Chain A
Amino acid sequence: MSRIAAVTMPKWGMTMTEGRVAAWLKAEGDAVEPGEDLVEIETEKITNVVEAAEGGTLRRILVAPGQTAPCGAPIALIAGADATGAELDAVAAGGAVAAAGTAAAERRLVTGADGIGLSVVTANGGAAGVPVVLIHGFASDAAVWMFNEDALAAGRPVHAVDLPSHGASGVRAEATGIDALAAAVRDVAEALVRGGPLHLVGHSLGGRIALRLARGMGGRVRSLTLIAPAGLGSGVNAGFVQGYLAADRRRAMRDALRMLVADEASVTAEMVENALAAKRIDGVGEALAAIAAQTLSPEAAASGLDDLAAMACPVLILWGAEDRVVPPAAGVGATRIESAGHLPQMEQAARVNALILAHVGGAE
């Protein structure tokens, strides 16, 4: 039987349970190359393109435009010309059964010594592989990994942490420096991996925190991935930080968020509303200002180079070529991600996922 690959409905973030096919960008019978745009998927929150993971011929479209399917359900089949109709039917049916058994991502609060909970979203929590812990950046939250969490969770648990005073975590007015933030994440990570090994992936300020954390945890950290990390010499654009902190209305916030991406049209009204809503939670604005003052200042711009030099595990550094918030640092061996700004894991999710999976796999 020839190889038949099912294209499945992606899962972007823990609240997504199903998606709608907005449009097929290929027709049945078309040849498909790996990485080619295949289908546009729409959720309540976002519309994005899914690329083909494998090459071949698009043999079957199982979900027509306008129709919805649950996350994980097969929506198309890619195979060679030799696959028979019966074989295709069998894979489609088997995929639907497998999807029905897929566990949903779960969110929980891990309470620290001070009684304040940090939120963690876990995908594939029951898997046996070495877990991956994802650490988001300044003023962001675990949702920044919506295009990555599920893809990285093949065979291993993936935990996306919300930093103190971010996302669904509690506000910690005192956890505002790198060491305090790293300690808070470490508490959560220890509760999740219970003394075992782990992989760390950090974005922006989360990259800086991951570096400090990895240094503290030593050999248990099997690999480190830094995406557009702060602290490696290039500095953080003060215009972004100040613009974000000062933004109390929609337009100002939209202008700040547009600096994060290469394609400004990708900043949706909902992203702007969510960013404003997060900042309006009592105590969050003050906590973010304190975090920015301590961790994103010009004095902190190269503060992570020591930690980087001390790393014993493999380190992968990814940087959007058009990053306007933390410009790519020179001399740290970063891999450039074209057509991406400060959020390559969202803007070029398929490429970033493939690079992280190869890096994590190579370290195991």
Chain B
Amino acid sequence: MAVRSFRAALNEALHQAMAADPRVILMGEDVTGGKGGDGVEDAWGGAFGVSKGLLGAFGPGRVIDTPITESAFVGAAAGAALTGLRPVVEIMFVDFLGVCLDQLMNQAAKFRYMFGGRATTPMVLRATFGAGARSASQHSQALYPILTHIPGLKVVIPSNPADAKGLLIQAIRDDDPVVFLEHKMLYDETGEVPDRPYATPFGEARVVREGGDAVIVALGRMVGRAEAAARTLAAEGIQAAIVDPRTTSPLDHGTILEYAEETGRVVVVDEASPRCGMAADIASLVAERAFDALKAPILKVTPPHTPVPYSPVLEDAYLPDAARIARAVRRSVAHRAARGGRA
């Protein structure tokens, strides 16, 4: 057990997975990290430093720099997976999904189904996502609802270093295509991470915090903000539980419903755009399956339905923050008091 950054936890997962299984390969733009300069290799370990050291450890046959052509290398990864490799392919920003969506949506995601269960596609597509880095609207989106919508894909959104490692190892061991989304503002977050390899299963939420007054469901970077909100609320006497689904596909219905029923008040925090997003999806789940337990309307805390602003002031205002989350929980709790609702 050691304290590691989110970035280092991912790096360790890749090292351990590649050491354990020679079928695991890494592909993407600049994954060899600075190769191409005169005599310079692995100078900075990829665009975000995640693949540092892998070229030296596993060589250019398994750590492969690609041209700037997502359509080609994501397609190549899907084909490689079909033929028995376990590629981990990186697109730098999930925003670039558009140029390789057919390879993912119509090919990788469909192979098992279209071939009658006789083909598997054990590929992982890693990408950064999320706002806060002053990267403007084409490099800051949280597109996981689009991916979650596609049957045949698994979608993973780690919120902390320990989960990042365990979920990435599970993604690599999984026989289906997995989209693994790394919030670019979490790379320097630290936490305790076990040294040895371990796999964290998909479809199991993490209960971040217990609390009987309300439950906050939050993903990715929003988990930390929900925790900050819960600390503020606790000082006011409001105990909010926090559930982090960890994967949006599969989604852990059981834990979300358990806490919805236990607390009767649900606040969903989602960094994705509000229309057809995860907040709406989770709210509909609770409305359908836990309606009788609800003491207040389900509340969503999301950005407005706009592109991510480039102006730092506007970008900060765009994102849900701890204050907004806390306000939503207070509103939910006050709803019962105002109406003298069910106990």
The residues of A that contact B207 with a CB separation of less than 8 Å are 250, 269, 272-273
- A283 to B, closest residue via Cβ: B196
The residues of A that contact B166 with a CB separation of less than 8 Å are 277, 280
Judging by beta carbons under 8 Å apart, are A250 and B195 in contact? no
- B166 to A, closest residue via Cβ: A280
A81 at the interface (CB under 8 A from B): no
The residues of A that contact B206 with a CB separation of less than 8 Å are 273
Please count the residue pairs between chain A and chain B whose beta carbons lie under 8 angstroms apart in the complex: 47
CB A105 to nearest CB in B, in angstroms, measures 14
The residues of A that contact B205 with a CB separation of less than 8 Å are 250
CB A109 to nearest CB in B, in angstroms, measures 10
CB B1 to nearest CB in A, in angstroms, measures 4
> Which residues of B, 158-208, contact A by the 8 Å Cβ criterion?
162, 166, 192, 194-201, 204-208
Judging by beta carbons under 8 Å apart, are A281 and B201 in contact? no
Q: For the complex, give the distance between the alpha carbons of A66 and B194 in Å.
A: 32
B209 at the interface (CB under 8 A from A): yes
B235 at the interface (CB under 8 A from A): yes
CB B196 to nearest CB in A, in angstroms, measures 5
B71 at the interface (CB under 8 A from A): no
Q: Mark each residue of chain A from 236 to 265: 1 if its CB lies under 8 Å from any CB of chain B, else 0.
A: 000000000000111100000000000000
Q: For the complex, give the distance between the alpha carbons of A107 and B192 in Å.
A: 13
- A273 to B, closest residue via Cβ: B206
Judging by beta carbons under 8 Å apart, are B201 and A168 in contact? no
Q: For the complex, give the distance between the alpha carbons of A281 and B197 in Å.
A: 6
Judging by beta carbons under 8 Å apart, are B196 and A282 in contact? yes
Judging by beta carbons under 8 Å apart, are B208 and A250 in contact? no
The residues of A that contact B196 with a CB separation of less than 8 Å are 170-171, 281-283
B281 at the interface (CB under 8 A from A): no
A268 at the interface (CB under 8 A from B): yes
> Which residues of B, 237-259, contact A by the 8 Å Cβ criterion?
241, 254-255, 258
B210 at the interface (CB under 8 A from A): yes
Q: Which of B162, B196, B209 has the most CB of A within 10 A?
A: B196
Judging by beta carbons under 8 Å apart, are A281 and B198 in contact? yes
- Given known A66-B235, A250-B255, contact A280–B199 (CB-CB < 8 A): yes
Judging by beta carbons under 8 Å apart, are A280 and B209 in contact? no
Tally of contact residues, B, Cβ under 8 A: 24
The residues of A that contact B241 with a CB separation of less than 8 Å are 269
Judging by beta carbons under 8 Å apart, are B210 and A277 in contact? no
The residues of A that contact B255 with a CB separation of less than 8 Å are 250
Q: For the complex, give the distance between the alpha carbons of A280 and B163 in Å.
A: 12
**Size class of the A contact interface (CB-based, 8 Å):** 20 to 34
Judging by beta carbons under 8 Å apart, are A250 and B198 in contact? no
The residues of A that contact B197 with a CB separation of less than 8 Å are 281-282
CB A283 to nearest CB in B, in angstroms, measures 8
Q: For the complex, give the distance between the alpha carbons of A283 and B194 in Å.
A: 13
Q: For the complex, give the distance between the alpha carbons of A251 and B259 in Å.
A: 12
CB A107 to nearest CB in B, in angstroms, measures 8
- B200 to A, closest residue via Cβ: A280
Q: Mark each residue of chain A from 276 to 288: 1 if its CB lies under 8 Å from any CB of chain B, else 0.
A: 0110111100000
Judging by beta carbons under 8 Å apart, are A248 and B194 in contact? no
CB A146 to nearest CB in B, in angstroms, measures 14
Q: For the complex, give the distance between the alpha carbons of A269 and B258 in Å.
A: 13
Q: Which of B199, B200, B206 has the most CB of A within 10 A?
A: B206
The residues of B that contact A119 with a CB separation of less than 8 Å are 1
- Given known A250-B204, A281-B198, contact A269–B210 (CB-CB < 8 A): yes
Q: For the complex, give the distance between the alpha carbons of A168 and B194 in Å.
A: 7
Q: For the complex, give the distance between the alpha carbons of A268 and B210 in Å.
A: 7
The residues of B that contact A268 with a CB separation of less than 8 Å are 210
- A268 to B, closest residue via Cβ: B210
Judging by beta carbons under 8 Å apart, are B209 and A269 in contact? yes
CB B156 to nearest CB in A, in angstroms, measures 15
Judging by beta carbons under 8 Å apart, are B1 and A277 in contact? no
- B208 to A, closest residue via Cβ: A269
The residues of B that contact A269 with a CB separation of less than 8 Å are 207-210, 241
Judging by beta carbons under 8 Å apart, are A248 and B201 in contact? yes
Judging by beta carbons under 8 Å apart, are B209 and A168 in contact? no
Q: For the complex, give the distance between the alpha carbons of A268 and B208 in Å.
A: 10
Judging by beta carbons under 8 Å apart, are A168 and B210 in contact? no
> Which residues of B, 266-325, contact A by the 8 Å Cβ criterion?
none
CB B57 to nearest CB in A, in angstroms, measures 19
CB A167 to nearest CB in B, in angstroms, measures 8
The residues of B that contact A250 with a CB separation of less than 8 Å are 204-205, 207, 255
The residues of B that contact A171 with a CB separation of less than 8 Å are 196
Judging by beta carbons under 8 Å apart, are A249 and B198 in contact? no
- B3 to A, closest residue via Cβ: A15
Q: For the complex, give the distance between the alpha carbons of A171 and B166 in Å.
A: 17
The residues of B that contact A251 with a CB separation of less than 8 Å are 254, 258
Interface residues of chain A, those whose CB is within 8 Å of chain B, are 15, 66, 107, 119, 167-168, 170-171, 248-251, 268-269, 272-273, 277-278, 280-283
Known pairs A280-B200, A282-B196; list 7 more (Cβ under 8 Å).
Answer: A107-B1, A168-B195, A248-B201, A251-B254, A273-B206, A278-B194, A282-B199
8 contacts between A and B (CB under 8 A): A15-B192, A107-B1, A168-B1, A250-B205, A277-B166, A278-B194, A282-B196, A282-B199
A-B pairs with the 7 shortest C-beta distances? Answer: A269-B207, A168-B1, A281-B198, A280-B198, A282-B197, A281-B196, A269-B210
